[in-house]
Amino acid sequence: MPKAAFSSPKTVSITIDGVKVSVPSGITVTAAVMEVGHSYIRTTPLSGQERSGYCQMGVCFECLVTIDGVPNQQGCLVKVSEGMQVTRQHTAPVISIHEGL
Ligand code: FES
């Protein structure tokens, strides 16, 4: 059987809420959060209701998460990478009124 032209690690190490975990390489952040057993990826700012990814294709914005210190990232659109720091969000999205001006 021919060998693959390249090799990639089968897992990567990331932290989720400060806890180091090993997840399959190539999966999204949203999938990684679910993979390690969390039932939600964020809570709503007003009611605190637990939410998780819904569409998995960048449409619904239910999967907002903080990645490497940057809030409001769509976890379903970002693949995990070695050393990535993921924090589930429990606050309102930060929206600047100056964006786009
Ligand atoms: S799950 Fe819908 S935008 Fe990410």
Using most ligand atoms within 8 A of CB, pick from 34, 41, 42, 55 the residue to mutate for ligand 1: 55
Its CATH architecture, for the domain 11-88, is Roll (3.10)
Which residues line ligand 1 at a C-beta cut-off of 6 Å?
A: 30, 53-56, 58-63, 74, 76
Q: What one-character DSSP code corresponds to residue 95? A: -
Q: Please state the domain extents for the chain.
A: 11-88
Query: Closest Cα partner for 13 from 70, 86, 64, 65?
Result: 86
Dist. CA 76 → ligand 1 center (Å): 5
Q: How far is the CA of 3 from the centre of ligand 1 (A)?
A: 36
Closest C-alpha among 46, 94, 38, 45 to residue 66: 94
pLDDT tens, per residue, the chain with 101 residues: 555 555 556 999 999 999 999 999 999 999 999 999 999 999 998 888 999 999 999 999 999 999 999 999 999 999 999 999 999 998 765 556 665 55
